[in-house]
Amino acid sequence: MRNKYIENFEKAQVSEKNIPDFRAGDTVRLAVTIKEGDKTRVQNYEGVCIAKRGQGTGQTITVRKIGANSIGIERIFPIYSDSINEIAVIRRGRVRRAKLFYLRDLAGKKARIKELRRK
């Protein structure tokens, strides 16, 4: 059971941000604000969403991308964080699982996800 004051606060926080509907297997691009000293800039982070967990303002996503020298990089982002300016869905993936941790063991063409075809 959750406190009603906390629930009201979370509803206000969630309603402020415009989050698209996406799930594990989708390729997403996140515009992340990075602070370096007294300067701030926006950097895009694009990869496959391999997990989505939590509820309310505590909801997080794990995004995996392939970096230099074919090394996999995973970052966990709180969806309702102030450091995330925008979330854009690039591709919809056709997967049959909610958590795609098996992608960690795959490399190259084996790690590709088929695109969801619209009817």
Q: Cα separation of 103 and 88, whole Å?
A: 22
Could you tell me the domains of the chain? 4-107 (2.30.30.790)
Render the burial of 48-64: b for 16+ CB within 10 Å, e for the rest: bbbbbeeeebeeebbbb
Per-residue pLDDT tens digits for 20-74? 999 999 999 999 999 999 999 999 999 999 999 998 888 999 999 999 988 999 9
The pLDDT of residue 16: 80
Task: Give the confidence band of 119 by pLDDT, cuts at 50, 70, 90.
Answer: low
The pLDDT of residue 78: 94
Per-residue pLDDT tens digits for 67-102? 998 899 999 999 998 899 999 999 999 999 999 999
Consecutive H or E run containing 25 = none
- Pairing of the two strands 27-36 and 39-53: antiparallel
DSSP 3-state helix, strand, coil percentages of the chain (rounded to 5)?
25, 40, 35
The pLDDT of residue 43: 96
> What is the token pair recorded at 76?
């966990």
